[in-house]
């Protein structure tokens, strides 16, 4: 693909060099357009050397080639990282006072902003209004990450990690490129992330689910034309700006949100890692160590099985035509991962079960996966391996075959 990488004038400009590396190593041809301010942080020589393409930030260079028109038209994707408050404001206002903003006005493909600025600037009504304006035009503006900022301060405003920007930006682009309308008019409800079960006001029992697979499923379903409703428990990754999201925390909250969504859903995909147990008693004040030398014992009680309950509700009252479960399995003395997954599919009664073999040291949160999709009709797909988006595309394709033949 031909990609334009716009770099705003913030300290995080140096991180754009890693993003550029990821893009070129993935085989994309990248033209970097830094703003004048960005070149105070990282010089044009760095961008030229890393991209292998000439770099300019002025509309007055190569005037005969009318660069802003050419670059804007030719780009399959424009990423702006870091997008400073100033760049967001100029883009929202439609200014064209440098090569980057001129190119943005000429863009014919998807545009993706990864903001970075101080928390106060990000939260300022002016910035939030600019972000809302850009999003209303179909532009993707990622949520900034939280953490240490330039000085001693910390909060939302950090540039997300280059690998996250890379995945999210190409995801947006993949969505607009591989777009079909096979699921147009269908509503797909997807749960993602890990639930958190409180112990007291400051502690919880959680799990290591990152939510990446759920987000990839949401992008794949949207690319197939579906109306997507994401029910998000705790996520380690940002939610694409234009998704409809219901935020939940505990398994009980997730259950309520899923049951409420069932009647209007054509598809339910349970990609969330739901805690099977929760503390029997949630303390209203912090559990203290005390001086009595007695260590606390936490008793757990079982959480509802939301997937199973959704299947039962469908039987009693109708609901989604396709219900999909996920299972992360390892082999043990009772059987291999496939045997465990087949038994789980029967136990839960869902239509498809996506088996993720997490044996052999494979862990949660990785960007690559290998799965097998099992059907209640006894079918078993060939192994699907690749990025979470590749897995998501395969799952959505299987769902589409059930829905539209
Ligand atoms: N799930 C659910 N409600 C729960 C637990 C799990 O809806 N309380 C869903 C998950 O979202 C997933 C599927 O069920 O789609 C399988 O999850 P898993 O944890 O593997 O199932 P369990 O029944 O908990 O099986 P195990 O005893 O192997 O943990």
Q: Is 270 helix (H, G, I), strand (E, B) or coil?
A: strand
For residue 256, report the distance from its CA to the centre of ligand 1, in Å.
16
Task: Report which protein residue has its CA nearest ligand 1's atom 4.
Answer: 305
Same domain, 124 and 54: yes
Q: How many domains does the chain have?
A: 2
pLDDT in tens, the chain (405 residues): 789 999 999 999 999 999 999 888 877 889 999 999 999 999 999 999 999 999 998 877 777 766 777 788 889 899 999 999 999 999 999 999 999 999 999 998 899 999 999 999 999 999 999 999 998 888 999 889 887 777 777 788 999 888 888 888 887 775 433 457 889 999 999 999 999 999 999 999 999 999 989 999 998 999 889 999 999 999 998 888 778 999 999 999 999 999 999 999 999 999 999 999 999 999 999 998 887 888 889 999 999 999 999 999 999 999 999 999 999 998 888 889 999 999 999 999 999 999 998 876 655 556 667 789 999 999 988 777 767 887 898 899 899 989 987
Same domain, 392 and 268: yes
Q: What contacts 347, CB < 8 A, 6 or more positions away? A: 308
Report if residue 178 sits inside a domain.
Answer: no
Report if residue 193 sits inside a domain.
Answer: yes
DSSP state of 78: E
For residue 38, report the distance from its CA to the centre of ligand 1, in Å.
48
Same domain, 225 and 138: no
Same domain, 205 and 300: yes
Question: Counting atoms of ligand 1 from 1, which one is nearest the CA of 307?
Answer: 7
For residue 327, report the distance from its CA to the centre of ligand 1, in Å.
7
Same domain, 125 and 192: no
Same domain, 357 and 245: yes
Residue 123: give its domain's CATH number.
Answer: 3.40.50.1950
Same domain, 95 and 208: no
Residue to mutate (ligand 1; options 305, 322, 346; most atoms within 8 A of CB): 305
Q: What stretch of H or E contains 188?
A: strand 187-192
Q: How far is CA 86 from CA 65, 120, 132, in A?
A: 27, 14, 15
Residue-number span of the structural domain to which 137 is assigned:
2-171
Catalytic, 207? Answer: yes
Report if residue 25 sits inside a domain.
Answer: yes
Say if CB 9 and CB 38 are below 8 A apart. yes
* Residue where a domain terminates, one of 111, 138, 171: 171
Same domain, 325 and 400: yes
Catalytic residue, candidates 57, 130, 207, 356:
207
């Amino acid at each position: 693909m031909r990609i334009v990488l716009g770099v705003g004038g913030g300290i995080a400009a140096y991180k754009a060099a890693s993003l550029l590396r990821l893009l070129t190593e993935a085989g994309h041809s990248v033209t970097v357009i830094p703003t004048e301010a960005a070149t105070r942080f990282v010089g044009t020589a760095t961008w030229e050397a890393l991209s292998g393409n000439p770099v300019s930030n002025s509309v007055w260079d190569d005037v005969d080639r009318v660069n802003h028109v050419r670059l804007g038209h030719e780009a399959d994707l424009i990423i702006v990282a870091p997008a400073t408050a100033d760049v967001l404001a100029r883009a929202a206002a439609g200014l064209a006072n440098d090569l980057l903003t001129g190119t943005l006005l000429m863009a014919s493909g998807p545009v993706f902003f990864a903001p970075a600025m101080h928390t106060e600037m990000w939260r300022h009504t002016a910035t939030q209004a600019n972000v809302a304006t850009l999003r209303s035009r179909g532009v993707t503006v990622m949520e900034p990450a939280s953490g240490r900022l330039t000085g001693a301060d910390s909060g939302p405003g950090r540039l997300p990690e280059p690998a996250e920007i890379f995945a999210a930006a190409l995801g947006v682009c993949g969505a607009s490129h591989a777009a079909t309308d096979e699921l147009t008019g269908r509503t797909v409800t997807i749960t993602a992330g890990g639930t958190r079960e409180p112990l007291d006001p400051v502690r919880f029992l959680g799990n290591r689910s990152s939510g990446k697979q759920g987000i990839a499923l949401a992008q794949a379903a949207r690319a197939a034309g579906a109306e997507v409703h994401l029910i998000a428990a705790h996520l380690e990754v940002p939610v694409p700006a234009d998704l409809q999201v219901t935020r939940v925390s505990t398994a009980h909250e997730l259950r309520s949100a899923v049951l409420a969504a069932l009647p209007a859903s054509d598809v339910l995909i349970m990609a969330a890692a739901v805690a099977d147990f929760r503390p029997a008693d949630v303390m209203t004040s912090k559990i203290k160590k005390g001086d009595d030398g007695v260590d606390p014992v936490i008793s757990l009680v079982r959480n509802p099985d939301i997937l199973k309950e959704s299947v039962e509700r469908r039987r009693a009252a109708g609901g989604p035509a396709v219900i999909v479960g996920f299972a992360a399995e390892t082999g043990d003395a009772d059987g291999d991962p496939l045997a465990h997954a087949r038994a789980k599919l029967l136990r839960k009664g869902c239509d498809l079960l996506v088996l993720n073999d997490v044996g052999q040291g494979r862990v949660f949160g990785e960007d690559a996966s290998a799965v097998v999709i099992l059907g209640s009709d006894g079918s078993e797909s060939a192994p699907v391996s690749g990025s979470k988006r590749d897995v998501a595309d395969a799952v959505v394709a299987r769902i589409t075959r059930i829905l539209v033949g």
